[in-house]
């Protein structure tokens, strides 16, 4: 692991809210996002989350004392150029992390200058954190793939290629939004089993999918693959991702070419990018089961086996419109762990994507696929939790759900926790279902 003083679990910040044991954004995290003050007509600028605040990098670039190389990068971020920063060499990105960590650490001589550069997270609106040129969604959650496969293909749940190749499809980047977005129930072509012909109607089997998203850092020239040995330097950071899915549309359209309108109507991500540097303490060993085929050499490396996984706890919470009206909080539906749910690592996803010479670019987004655990209660979608809609979930207020209803708010949460490392979080990734538009 590439650990340094920014991972010291005992380090404290002069921003007091960052020192709370359950804070998502302690000093050891420092995720990046794009924001502006709510109600203000101003350009988006980059910031780093620290406790309940954001360090406004536009203000900090001018007010703080920085080495020249760091100042150059902060100035680009101040202008909202997150993609340019993503494209910087790993050593440059680490230098900025070190400078921000030192400036925000307890006892820093920069406290007086930077105090006025803090903005409360409660008064800002967040945006998609970078320009996402392309979005690819993988299918790395083997427990999800097996369970869903049994619903569609009881005798052949996993197709022969699943344990050899990281499966993925190209999504729609234009419909990606951030935490707090409204999701309009989509129309689609539906064909229930008993119907003779399909019909165009609002989806009745609307679902969420619990995923992580990983952002590409520096890209690769067209025609030049990225080997596993260099995959890590091409990964920038991770967010939460909800791949909203219209299951009835999906069931009718997905053969032979896979997901299309069932997936591209909306994707929600969390607004903060937790950097790969912040996730270093949470690396864990990775291996396929002994009885499964070993990855082909281009998808294998000693480092990937030793520490290719990440111990990240994942959760799904649901608040219905009735619960919200009664002042009742959201309820947790499940919890799983990315370290044990993913069949392919982030490095393998990226390397496979570029293995044919596909040119990835800074800011491209790769989804992991639904991260369900092995147990039924660890399922990352309602499709699994309700056994394809056959077993409704009963909520604490006696409401029942097989799929999402209008007014439901789904919130994804995550935190990384391992050994004595400082726990870090990802913030929320929520969306609320709105009724379908009238025909």
Q: What are phi and psi for residue 437, nearest 5 degrees? A: -65, 150
**What whole-number distance in Å separates Cα of residue 77 and Cα of residue 89?**
15
pLDDT of residue 390: 95
Q: What are phi and psi for residue 261, nearest 5 degrees? A: -70, -20
**What whole-number distance in Å separates Cα of residue 131 and Cα of residue 409?**
26
H-helix or E-strand spanning residue 385: helix 382-385
Q: 310 - beta bridge partners? A: 283
**What whole-number distance in Å separates Cα of residue 157 and Cα of residue 209?**
19
Q: What is the pLDDT of residues 208-218, one digit of tens each?
A: 999 999 999 99
Q: What angle do CA 354, 360, 366 make, to 5 degrees?
A: 85
pLDDT of residue 1: 76
What CATH number labels 5-127?
Answer: 2.30.30.230
**What whole-number distance in Å separates Cα of residue 166 and Cα of residue 355?**
11
CATH superfamily, domain at 135-434: Fumarylacetoacetase-like, C-terminal domain (3.90.850.10)
**What whole-number distance in Å separates Cα of residue 394 and Cα of residue 402?**
9
CB 19 within 8 A of CB 13: yes
pLDDT of residue 306: 97
Kind of pairing, strands 309-310 and 400-401?
A: unpaired
Extents of the domains making up the chain: 5-127, 135-434
Q: In which residue ranges of the chain is pLDDT below 70?
A: none
Instruction: Pick the closest to residue 318 from 211, 427, 205, 431 (CA basis).
Output: 431
Greatest CA separation for the chain: 74
pLDDT of residue 426: 98
**What whole-number distance in Å separates Cα of residue 369 and Cα of residue 140?**
5
Q: In 277-311, which positions are buried (b, 16+ CB within 10 angstroms) versus exposed (e)?
A: bbbbbbbbebeeeeeeeebeeebbbeebbebbbbb
The reply to whether 144 belongs to the active site is yes
For residue 252, the SS3 value is helix
Place of tokens 């967010």: 239
5-127 and 135-434: identical CATH topology = no
Q: Which of 7, 143, 144, 353 is catalytic?
A: 144
pLDDT of residue 113: 97
Would you report the helix, strand and coil content of the chain in percent, each value rounded to 5?
25, 25, 45
What is the pTM assigned to this prediction? 0.97
pLDDT of residue 300: 97
């Amino acid at each position: 692991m590439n650990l340094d003083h920014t991972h010291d679990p005992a380090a404290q910040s002069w921003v007091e809210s960052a020192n709370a044991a359950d804070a998502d954004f302690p000093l050891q995290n420092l995720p990046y996002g794009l924001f502006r003050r709510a109600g203000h007509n101003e350009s988006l600028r980059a910031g780093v989350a620290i406790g309940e605040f954001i360090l406004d990098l536009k203000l900090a670039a001018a007010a703080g004392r920085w080495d020249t190389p760091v100042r150059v990068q902060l100035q680009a971020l101040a202008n909202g150029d997150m993609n340019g920063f993503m494209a910087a060499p790993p050593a440059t990105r680490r230098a900025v992390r070190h400078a921000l960590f030192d400036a925000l650490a307890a006892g820093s001589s920069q406290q007086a200058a930077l105090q006025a550069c803090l903005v409360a997270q409660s008064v800002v609106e967040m945006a998609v954190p970078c320009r996402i040129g392309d979005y690819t969604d993988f299918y790395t959650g083997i427990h999800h793939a097996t369970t869903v496969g049994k619903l569609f293909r009881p005798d052949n749940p996993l197709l022969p290629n699943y344990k050899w190749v990281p499966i993925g499809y190209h999504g729609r980047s234009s419909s990606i939004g951030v935490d707090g977005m409204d999701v309009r129930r989509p129309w689609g072509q539906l064909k229930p089993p008993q119907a003779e012909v399909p019909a165009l109607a609002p989806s009745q089997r609307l679902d969420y999918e619990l995923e992580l998203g990983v952002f590409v850092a520096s890209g690769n020239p067209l025609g030049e693959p990225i080997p596993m040995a260099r995959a890590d330097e091409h990964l920038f950071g991770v967010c939460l991702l909800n791949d909203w899915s219209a299951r009835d549309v999906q069931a009718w359209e997905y053969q032979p070419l896979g997901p299309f309108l069932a997936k591209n109507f909306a994707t929600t991500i969390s607004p903060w990018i937790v950097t790969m540097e912040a996730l270093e303490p949470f690396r864990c060993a990775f291996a396929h089961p002994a009885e499964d085929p070993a990855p082909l050499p281009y998808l294998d490396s000693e480092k990937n086996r030793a520490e290719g996984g990440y111990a990240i706890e994942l959760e799904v919470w649901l608040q219905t419109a009735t619960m919200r009206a009664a002042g009742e909080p959201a309820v947790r539906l499940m919890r799983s762990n990315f370290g044990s749910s993913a069949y392919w690592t982030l490095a393998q996803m990226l390397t496979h994507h570029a293995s044919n010479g596909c040119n990835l670019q800074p800011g491209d987004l790769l989804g992991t696929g639904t991260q369900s655990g092995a147990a039924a209660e660890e399922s990352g979608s309602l499709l699994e939790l309700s056994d394809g809609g056959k077993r409704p979930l009963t909520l604490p207020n006696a409401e029942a759900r097989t799929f999402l209803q209008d007014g439901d708010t789904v919130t994804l949460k995550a935190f990384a926790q391992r050994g004595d490392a400082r726990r870090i979080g990802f913030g929320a990734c929520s969306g609320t279902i709105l009724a379908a538009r009238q025909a």
